[in-house]
Structure 1
Amino acid sequence: MTSFFDAITLHKNKRSLNSYSWQQIVEKILGKLKDWGYGKELLIWLLLNKQDYIALKIGRFRQSGEVHQWMYDRYSLERLLEECGFVEVKQCAAHESRISNWTSFNLDTEPDGAIYKPDSLYMEATKPN
């Protein structure tokens, strides 16, 4: 722990902490954490409160391309749609819909007809008047 304290205060170098930039201080701390087998993630965890750290992790996940917050299977999505008042709930293929000319919108298929995400679940339902 003494070497960590020295890294933060830079005591061994006999320099004032004020003579270092924040970047230099962080680099010194990261160097010590790396020496001990830890990475910058530990420093981030130490600096943030729990709520901010969770928000950071969620933000990183969502920026990685995954924007969904929930996942449904056919059964649970069908039940949810029915609980919300939808009727005629059915599972479809990516190129199927009650909407005329559905494939021309290219929402679930590419212009050449290839399915955009073949592992997706496609469901359709009707909201009664």
Structure 2
Amino acid sequence: MNKRVLRPLCDRIGRESVDRVTARFYDRLRADAQLAPFFAHIEDFPAHERLIADFWWIALGGKLSDPAPVDMLGLHRPMKLRQSDLDRWLALFGETVDAELEPELAAQWKTMAQGIGARLRQAAIG
């Protein structure tokens, strides 16, 4: 009998790719006329990117020795996001992972992002 070995998405994507996708995604966000204003108040953007890369690493199945707690829903609730903002966020994220990863891995990560987007819609938009 063959033993089935599961490889979490984090292992198939790799930490370097998670960091690269996060950085490229935030480059796009910060250049986007619709979404850039939501990030203008962030003073230490490298720290923010590291926090989000760590969030994704954990969401993709990775482990960290000392993860920072991130309340994505609580942090986004006061931002007054509209449906169109979340749609744009997901579109830019999809474009980024499509450009940076092989199609199968990009599709799986985008599915996760869609789920997070749905929860943000419920929490932030209501």
Question: What's the TM-score once normalised by structure 1's chain length?
Answer: 0.23
Question: Which is strand-richer, 1 or 2?
Answer: 1
Task: Write 1 or 2 for the structure with the bigger share of helix.
Answer: 2
Higher RCO (Cα < 8 Å, 6 or more apart): 2
TM-score with structure 2 setting the length = 0.23
Larger Rg: 1
